[in-house]
């Protein structure tokens, strides 16, 4: 082939590529001429138009004196319950629920505490601040999997082109580049662990990561139990999926957390004062703290846990390695705000043997709940190992799991964003309505 023919072919190829890029850019600018104003997450850089009640409020916010015979519902949620990607706030599930209750002849007052970006730490703060003001009869906590990320270290999963210096500028200026970047990021294999892998591998029971989430969930659920006779845990899934939901293990754990169980504080979540960590295959979390006989004084301490006033119980799991006729250790109950020891309970004498649960009963004084820390102190007369410290709890929450219902149609607000669309919000409202009307029906 001559040089001239090669140059002509190359020129034709370049022109073809230029025409493809230009036509693709032009076509996308026509398709997405709203520039993102009505296409959530789409190219163009305009903010999606969200209609609000006032300011950023996208739902009712009833406070003050309650009407006789009218129940009041308080909703805690993030961008899902705020309705990101749904233009009219009246199409968001809390308002659809309020309308459905009115049609059913059971009108309710409602306070919607939902805002994009809120995690469980903020929900706990909102519960503490607003529950005494709202005085709800029903508390609904809308959960999404990112709520477990109290300790967050997500994989970045950046592709090579996203690390280029021009990447940001091209996303802002070219609709075609924006579109291709989004599509390739969605469908190409992840360069690192996927988000699902990260959640399933890092947030497992016995880890500090999962324990911290449980600690916050405990505070929220306990305050909700103090505030309202009816509590609903609303589980929003990652959709769509094939066959079994990849995050089903997390949802199963949430079902278990909502009811009666033992809130376990594992060694990974302790502040260690003395002793040495050891691997123990027969321990609940396959690890323990080993304490020598001649080591009196504080051994471990927990972070703070919110407890309601009144009688309570902690269960310490230990194994005595050297027998003693005296007490092995004691459990100190500490007021986190004042750092004062509320009560101290000694463990009874025990002979050598395997793991055993030692229940320690105590009372949280006062008319209001408080943050409590637990400290185990060795008496110094015996060697022992600590494996777990548990709190028997029962939050009594009704679970509404949307996994099956939302995997039957396209729930996404747009191809660029997975927030629920108005149709999905309608399904959420219907499922919550069913739970409120039939509190004893199976989930």
Mean pLDDT of 330-335: 95
* Nearest-angstrom CA–CA distance, 207 and 269: 7
- Greater model confidence, 2 or 406: 406
The pLDDT value given to residue 9: 79
**Residue 111 and residue 134: Cα distance in Å, rounded?**
7
Using CB atoms within 10 Å of the CB of residue 88, give its burial: 0 to 12 exposed, 13 to 18 middle, 19+ buried. Answer: middle
Residue 339 has pLDDT above 80, yes or no: yes
Note the pLDDT of residue 3. 83
pLDDT for position 443: 53
What number of other Cβ atoms are within 10 A of residue 126's Cβ?
19
What's the rounded mean pLDDT across residues 30-34? 95
Give the whole-angstrom CA distance, residue 189 versus residue 173.
Answer: 26
Is the per-residue pLDDT at 1 higher than 70? no
Residue 142 confidence (pLDDT): 98
CATH number, domain 72-153+193-259+396-437, options 3.40.50.1110, 3.40.1370.10, 1.10.3720.10, 3.30.413.10: 3.40.50.1110
Q: How far apart are CA 110 and CA 134, in angstroms?
A: 9
Beta strands of 103-159 (E only): which ranges? Answer: 109-114, 138-143
The values of phi and psi at residue 425, to 5°, are: -60, -35
Task: Pick the more confident residue, 1 or 355.
Answer: 355
Beta bridge partners of 260: 394
Is the model's pLDDT at 373 over the cut of 60? Answer: yes
Burial class (CB in 10 A: 0-12, 13-18, 19+), 90: middle
pLDDT (tens digit per residue) in 152-189: 999 989 999 999 999 999 999 999 999 999 999 999 99
Give yes or no on whether 72-153+193-259+396-437 and 264-393 have one common fold.
no
442, pLDDT greater than 60: no
- Residue spans of the domains in the chain: they are 72-153+193-259+396-437, 264-393
pLDDT of residue 381: 83
Q: What is the pLDDT of residues 413-434, one digit of tens each?
A: 999 999 999 999 999 999 999 9
What CATH code would you report for 264-393?
2.60.120.260
Stated as kind and residue range, the H or E segment containing 9 is: helix 3-31
Amino acid 323: pLDDT: 74
What is the predicted pLDDT for the residue at 129? 97
Using CB atoms within 10 A of its CB, is residue 187 exposed (0-12), middle (13-18) or buried (19+)?
exposed
By DSSP bridging, strand 276-279 and strand 305-307 are unpaired
pLDDT, position 351: 66
Sign of CA dihedral 38, 41, 47, 53: positive
Average the pLDDT over each of 15-19, 68-72, 227-231, 261-265 and give the range with the smallest value: 15-19
Confidence of residue 382 (pLDDT cuts 50, 70, 90): confident
Which residue in this structure is represented by tokens 């459990």?
A: 331
Q: Which residues contact 432 (CB under 8 A, 6 or more apart)?
A: 93, 97, 140, 232, 234, 400
* Confidence category of residue 326, pLDDT binned at 50, 70, 90: confident
Q: Are 112 and 425 in contact (CB under 8 A)?
A: no
pLDDT single digits (tens) 203-242: 999 999 999 999 999 999 999 999 999 999 999 999 999 9
pLDDT at 321: 86
pLDDT, tens digit, 9 for 90 and up, residues 340-362? 999 998 887 766 678 999 999 99
Give the tens place of pLDDT for each residue, 269-322.
Answer: 999 999 999 999 999 999 999 999 877 899 999 999 999 999 999 999 999 888
Measured CA distances, 164 to 155, 159, 175, 328, 436 (Å): 19, 9, 18, 62, 52
Tell me: the pLDDT tens digits for 55-102? 999 999 999 999 999 999 999 999 999 999 999 999 999 999 999 999
pLDDT band at 143 (very low <50, low <70, confident <90, very high): very high
Residue range 116-132: average pLDDT? 97
Three-class HEC string of 183-218? HHHHHCCCCCCCHHHHHHHHCCCCCHHHHHHHHHHH
């Amino acid at each position: 082939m001559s040089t001239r023919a090669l140059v002509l072919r190359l020129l034709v190829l370049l022109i073809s590529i230029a025409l493809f890029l230009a036509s693709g850019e032009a076509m996308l600018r026509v398709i997405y001429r709203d520039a993102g104003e009505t296409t959530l997450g789409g190219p163009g850089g305009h903010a999606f138009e969200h209609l609000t009640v006032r300011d950023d409020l996208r739902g009712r916010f009833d406070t003050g004196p309650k009407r006789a015979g009218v129940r009041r519902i308080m909703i805690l949620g993030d961008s899902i319950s705020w309705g990101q990607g749904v233009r009219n706030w009246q199409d968001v599930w809390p308002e659809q629920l309020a309308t459905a209750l009115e049609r059913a002849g059971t009108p309710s007052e409602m306070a919607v505490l939902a805002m994009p970006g809120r995690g469980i730490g903020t929900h706990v703060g909102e519960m503490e601040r607003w529950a005494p003001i709202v005085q709800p009869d029903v508390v609904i906590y809308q959960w999404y999997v990112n709520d477990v990320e109290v300790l967050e270290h997500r994989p970045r999963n950046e592709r090579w082109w996203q690390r280029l210096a021009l990447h940001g500028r091209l996303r802002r200026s070219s609709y075609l580049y924006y579109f291709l970047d989004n599509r390739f990021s969605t469908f190409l294999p992840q360069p690192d662990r996927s988000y699902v892998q990260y959640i399933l591998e890092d947030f497992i029971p016995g880890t500090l990561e999962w324990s911290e989430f449980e600690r916050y969930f405990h505070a929220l659920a306990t305050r909700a139990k103090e505030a309202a006779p009816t509590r609903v845990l609303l589980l929003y899934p990652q959709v769509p999926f094939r066959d079994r939901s990849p995050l089903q293990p997390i949802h199963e754990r949430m079902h278990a957390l909502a009811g009666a169980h033992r809130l376990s504080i594992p060694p990974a979540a302790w502040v260690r004062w003395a002793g040495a960590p050891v691997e123990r295959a027969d321990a609940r979390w396959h690890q323990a703290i080993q304490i020598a006989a001649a080591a009196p004084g504080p051994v471990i301490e927990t972070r703070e846990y919110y407890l309601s006033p009144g009688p309570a119980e902690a269960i310490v799991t230990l194994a005595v390695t050297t027998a003693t006729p005296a007490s092995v250790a004691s459990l100190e109950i500490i007021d986190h705000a004042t750092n004062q020891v509320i009560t101290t309970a000694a463990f009874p004498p025990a002979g050598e043997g395997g793991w055993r649960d030692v229940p320690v009963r105590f009372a949280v004084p006062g008319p209001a709940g408080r943050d409590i820390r637990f400290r185990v102190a060795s008496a110094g007369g015996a060697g022992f190992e600590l494996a777990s410290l548990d709190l028997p709890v029962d939050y009594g929450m009704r679970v509404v799991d949307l996994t099956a219902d939302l995997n039957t149609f396209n729930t996404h607000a747009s191809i660029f964003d997975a927030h629920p669309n108005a149709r999905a919000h309608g399904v959420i409202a219907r499922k919550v309505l069913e739970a409120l009307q039939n509190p004893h029906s199976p989930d």
